[in-house]
């Protein structure tokens, strides 16, 4: 903006000490304008759980508990406020649904996005890994699972969000030959911007198409959107580059100066990284995904304000759904606006200078906006709503900095050896209570083949909130061999006989799934089990009688499975709680709490209760007082099976329903 563009000439002269004195009679000068040139983009991170748990197949959980649904709440809010907040465009980051083969989930997504179409608000969309039939991660195999290797006629994403549907958007430019990648051009404040939206696992042909789009529009500043690009470090704040992101940087981003920012989801949380391209200019990379938060994300989304006057990009993370919930359902997780520095922040950017090399005519545009759009949006969201107090996690001061509880039955802390050294067979892991130590079993017992001492090693790696300064890493696991190693309690351990039927229980574990996790080798791997075949329990009439009576496991979809047979007489079946997908390579704290009065069992992942829990579950059945607990392995039909692949830090079993203030993630009093 020019110096005088927001001032009258008389006020400019007065400000500069002009020669003309003020007119007699008390005349006043015109106040400087406070209006700005600004617009905002709405961004929807992974909506997969909103699509899933709004279906009848999942008991319409949102509608049943709250009377409304988060996905529809998000798009309705944007449509309703687009004009007031100067929002010309919305960006979806992929993982539109959770289960690609479930039409009901696509219907939920379809309905939510139709809200934008009815409001004539254009949007870009892309397929995440949950939206394609063959989900192969780049790091596990960079050559397989790309767009060109799909049978396009079979892909549900292309049926529900077809090229024909995309063409209805006023901003639509084109899609590539596969139909998975698209670009849009939107106009805001007298300037044009390009959005390049690339679906999961782009091929070299797709990258060539994207490069041509940029070459064909050489003056347009570009926002690159992917499902995966940037990750988040174990501290939950710092950025962490991925192999896929580095590939995109080398093949697409670094030598295309038009790309000034990137957006992606896939990795839970939020982080921001500034990189410098071949031209010495900044590229702002941002990841945002709230799928593992309370209620599958709790309706959290983002607004990116481009304040051209003040040369800033302002980022707001907020939920339009939280204030819609009935008051009697609200709790400490129901935050409508996130204030942490990795969720709401400002990036300084001199747009004209940043774009000068390829768009020397880029201007500020007319100052038509009264005040900051993110501040206006925040006021709209919080109107009539009181935020809960924010509790910031406290890192442990030492190895003893955790709450000691009298109800502890067993507490195993896996640390003490040198990094990378084998945990030798026969090694004892002390129980803090002294009553129930674990022992690494001898190699190749119960049908196992090929196991070596180095299949379990000590590691200094641990969850940031665990006061135990290490873990054990389970390596080389393969369910097909089967090859696994594990720890188990003594046959005479007191915990073997306990059922917790009258006390309830809390079971906690810190775990990290190995980034090389492969469902063909590691599906249904066990964190912890109790030995025996549940089919031998009196009155058991459920499925999979060959399974143990307790399964604390990771499913073929990388969900946490807590499936137990209750300690009751008469007919009984296994009851289960399930998390959403756990991202490999990230530490998570899991707590399973069983209330002795209501007999409800609730699983918490990183402190947030999951959506799928079980009711009327009394205790934990055991086959006998000699049936050990097993950490890192399980069994099938009496033979050892399904070993863990990754790290386990601490495991604690308590004979009480503990509040979060007494979990291992809290600090000692």
Q: Is 70 exceeded by the pLDDT of residue 15?
A: no
Q: Which of 10-24, 75-89, 185-199 has the lowest mean pLDDT?
A: 10-24
Lowest mean pLDDT among 179-183, 329-333, 601-605: 329-333
Most confident of 19-23, 156-160, 597-601: 156-160
CB atoms inside a 10 Å sphere around CB 559 = 16
Tell me the whole-structure pTM to 2 decimals: 0.80
CB 632 within 8 A of CB 477: no
pLDDT-based confidence at 612, cuts 50/70/90?
confident
| 326 shares its domain with 457 | no
Residue 131 is part of a domain; what is its CATH number? 3.60.21
Residue 538 lies in a domain: yes
Mean pLDDT across the stretch 175-187?
99
For 20, the token pair is: 């003309």
More confident residue, 20 or 153: 153
According to the model, what pLDDT value does residue 30 have? 58
Q: Does residue 24 carry a pLDDT above 70?
A: no
User: Any idea of the CA torsion for 134, 48, 509, 137, to the nearest 10 degrees?
Assistant: 30
Residues 449 and 372 in one domain: no
pLDDT level of residue 12 (50, 70, 90 thresholds)? very low
**pLDDT greater than 70 at residue 297:** yes
Residue 13: what pLDDT? 27
Query: What integer pLDDT is reported at residue 28 of this predicted model?
Result: 53
- Of the listed ranges 192-201, 214-223, 228-237, the least confidently predicted one is 228-237
Tell me how many domains the chain contains. Answer: 2
Say if residue 142 is in the same domain as residue 280. Answer: yes
Q: Say yes or no: 343 and 421 in one domain.
A: no
pLDDT at 138: 96
Say which range, 79-83, 340-344, 386-390, has the weakest mean pLDDT.
386-390
Residues 101 and 161 in one domain: yes
- Which tens digits make up the pLDDT trace of 413-440? 999 999 999 999 999 999 999 999 999 9
378 and 431 share a domain? no
> How many angstroms separate the CA atoms of 546 and 529, rounded?
13
Per residue in 119-153, pLDDT (tens digit) is 999 999 999 999 999 999 999 899 999 999 999 99
How far is residue 645's CA from residue 476's CA, in Å, rounded to a whole number? 7
Whether residues 182 and 137 fall in one domain = yes
The verdict on 420 and 372 lying in the same domain is no
User: What local confidence, expressed as pLDDT, does residue 387 receive?
Assistant: 93
Span 474-518, pLDDT tens digits: 999 999 999 999 999 999 999 999 999 999 999 999 999 999 999
Residue 47 lies in domain:
38-382
Tell me if 591 sits within 8 A of 554, measured CB to CB.
no
Q: Are 262 and 275 in contact (CB under 8 A)?
A: no
The CA distance from 637 to 647, in Å, is 26
Is 287 in contact with 24 (CB distance < 8 Å)? no
Instruction: Determine, yes or no, domain membership for 95.
Output: yes
Residue 623 contacts residue 531 (beta carbons within 8 Å): yes
Please give the backbone phi and psi of residue 63, each rounded to the nearest 5 degrees, phi first: -60, -40
Same domain, 378 and 412: no
Give me the DSSP letters along 76-108.
Answer: HHHHHHTTTTT--EEEE-S---S-TT-HHHHHH
Q: Domain of 559: which CATH number?
A: 2.60.120.200
- Domain assignment of residue 401, yes or no: no
Closest CA to 34 of 242, 310, 365, 386: 310
Last residue of a domain, one of 347, 382, 417: 382
Percent of the chain with pLDDT over 90: 89
Alpha-carbon gap, residue 490 to 368, rounded angstroms:
74
**Euclidean distance between CA atoms 550 and 633, whole angstroms:** 12
Domain identity same for 284 and 165: yes
Inter-CA distances, 336 with 88, 239, 323, 391, Å: 23, 24, 7, 15
DSSP state of 152: G
366 and 424, same domain (yes or no): no
- What are 639-663's pLDDT values in tens digits? 999 999 999 999 999 999 999 999 9
Question: Does 390 map to a domain?
Answer: no
Is the bond preceding 444 in cis, omega lying within 30 degrees of 0?
no
The answer to whether 446 touches 635, Cβ cutoff 8 Å, is: yes
Distance CA 402, CA 432 (A): 12
**Averaged pLDDT score across all residues of the chain:** 94
Residues 455 and 369 in one domain: no
pLDDT digits (tens, 9 = 90+) for 47-76: 999 999 999 998 898 998 899 999 999 999
Residue 387 lies in a domain: no
Boundary (domain end) residue, out of 365, 382, 399: 382
Quote the CA–CA distance of 512 and 645 in Å, as a whole number: 9
Mean pLDDT of 83-99: 98
Domain limit, last residue, from 348, 382, 416: 382
Closest CA to 315 of 290, 292, 293, 348: 348
> CA 245 to CA 277: how far, in whole Å?
14
Tens of pLDDT, residue by residue over 333-383, are 999 999 999 999 999 999 999 999 999 999 999 999 999 999 999 999 999
pLDDT band with cut points at 50, 70 and 90 for residue 31: low
What was the pLDDT predicted at 142? Answer: 96
The 10s digit of each residue's pLDDT in 228-285 is: 999 998 788 999 999 999 999 999 999 999 999 999 999 999 999 999 999 999 999 9
Q: Is 165 within the bounds of a domain?
A: yes
**Element (H or E) spanning 52, and its range?**
helix 48-52
Q: Is residue 175 part of a domain?
A: yes
pLDDT digits (tens, 9 = 90+) for 304-326: 999 999 999 999 999 999 999 99
Which range is least confidently modeled, 20-29, 97-106, 516-525?
A: 20-29
Q: For residue 287, what pLDDT is reported?
A: 99
Model confidence over 96-120: pLDDT tens digits?
999 999 999 999 999 999 999 999 9
What confidence tier does 588 reach under pLDDT thresholds 50, 70, 90? very high
Residue 397 lies in a domain: no
More confident: 1 or 88: 88
Q: What is the pLDDT of residue 303?
A: 99
pLDDT for position 605: 94
């Amino acid at each position: 903006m020019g110096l005088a563009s927001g001032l009258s000439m008389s006020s400019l002269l007065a400000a500069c000490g002009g020669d003309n004195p003020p007119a007699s009679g008390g005349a006043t000068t015109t106040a400087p304008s406070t209006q700005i040139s600004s617009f905002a983009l709405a961004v929807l991170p992974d909506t997969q759980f909103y699509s899933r748990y709004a279906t009848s197949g999942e008991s319409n959980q949102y509608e049943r508990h709250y009377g409304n649904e988060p996905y529809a709440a998000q798009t309705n809010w944007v449509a309703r406020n687009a004009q007031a907040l100067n929002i010309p465009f919305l960006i979806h980051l992929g993982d539109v649904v959770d289960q690609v083969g479930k039409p009901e989930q696509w219907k939920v997504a379809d309905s939510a996005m139709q809200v934008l179409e009815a409001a004539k608000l254009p949007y870009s969309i892309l397929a995440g890994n949950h939206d394609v039939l063959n989900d192969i991660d780049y790091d596990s195999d960079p050559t397989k699972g790309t767009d060109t290797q799909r049978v396009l006629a079979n892909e549900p994403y292309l049926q529900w969000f077809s090229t024909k549907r995309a063409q209805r958007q006023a901003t639509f430019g084109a899609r590539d030959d596969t139909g998975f990648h698209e670009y849009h051009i939107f106009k805001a404040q007298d300037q044009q911007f390009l959005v390049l939206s690339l679906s999961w696992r782009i091929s070299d042909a797709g990258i060539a198409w994207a490069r041509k789009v940029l070459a064909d529009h050489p003056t347009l500043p570009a926002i690159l959107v992917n499902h995966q690009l940037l990750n988040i470090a174990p501290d939950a704040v710092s950025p962490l580059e991925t192999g896929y992101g580095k590939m995109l940087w080398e093949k697409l981003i670094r030598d295309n100066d038009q790309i000034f920012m990137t957006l992606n989801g896939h990795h839970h949380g939020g982080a921001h990284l500034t990189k410098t391209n071949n031209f010495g200019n900044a590229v702002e990379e941002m990841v945002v995904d709230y799928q593992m938060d309370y209620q599958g994300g709790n309706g959290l989304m983002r607004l990116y304000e481009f304040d051209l006057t003040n040369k800033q990009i302002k980022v707001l993370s907020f939920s339009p759904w939280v204030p819609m919930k009935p008051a009697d359902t609200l709790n400490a997780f129901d935050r409508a606006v996130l204030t942490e520095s990795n969720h709401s922040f400002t990036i300084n950017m001199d747009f004209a200078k940043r774009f000068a090399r390829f768009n020397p005519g880029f201007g500020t545009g007319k100052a038509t906006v009264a005040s900051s759009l993110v501040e206006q949006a925040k006021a709209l969201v919080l109107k009539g709503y009181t935020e809960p107090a924010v509790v910031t996690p406290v890192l442990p001061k030492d190895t003893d900095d955790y709450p000691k509880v009298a109800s502890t039955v067993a507490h195993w802390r896996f640390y003490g050896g040198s990094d990378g050294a084998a945990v030798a067979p026969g090694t004892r892991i002390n129980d803090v209570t002294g009553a129930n130590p674990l022992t690494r079993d001898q190699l190749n017992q119960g049908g196992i083949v090929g196991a070596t001492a180095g299949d379990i090693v000590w590691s200094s790696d641990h969850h940031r909130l665990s006061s135990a300064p290490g873990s054990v890493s389970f390596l080389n696991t393969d369910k097909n061999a089967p090859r696994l190693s594990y720890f188990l309690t003594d046959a005479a351990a007191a915990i073997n006989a306990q059922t917790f039927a009258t006390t309830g229980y809390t079971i906690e574990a810190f775990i990290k799934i190995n980034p090389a996790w492969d469902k063909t080798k590691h599906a249904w791997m066990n964190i912890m089990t109790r030995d025996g075949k549940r089919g031998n329990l009196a009155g058991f009439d459920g499925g999979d009688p060959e399974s143990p009576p307790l399964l604390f496991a990771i499913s073929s979809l990388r969900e946490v499975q807590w499936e137990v047979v209750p300690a009751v007489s008469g007919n009984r079946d296994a009851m289960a709680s399930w998390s959403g997908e756990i991202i490999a390579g990230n530490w998570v704290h899991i707590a399973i709490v069983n209330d002795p009065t209501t007999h409800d069992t609730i699983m918490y992942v990183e402190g947030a209760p999951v959506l799928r829990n079980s009711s009327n579950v009394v205790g934990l059945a055991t086959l006998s007082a000699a049936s050990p607990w097993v950490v890192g392995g399980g069994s099938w039909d009496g033979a050892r099976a399904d070993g863990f692949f990754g790290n386990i830090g601490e495991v604690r079993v308590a004979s009480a329903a503990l509040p979060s203030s007494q979990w291992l993630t809290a600090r000692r009093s």
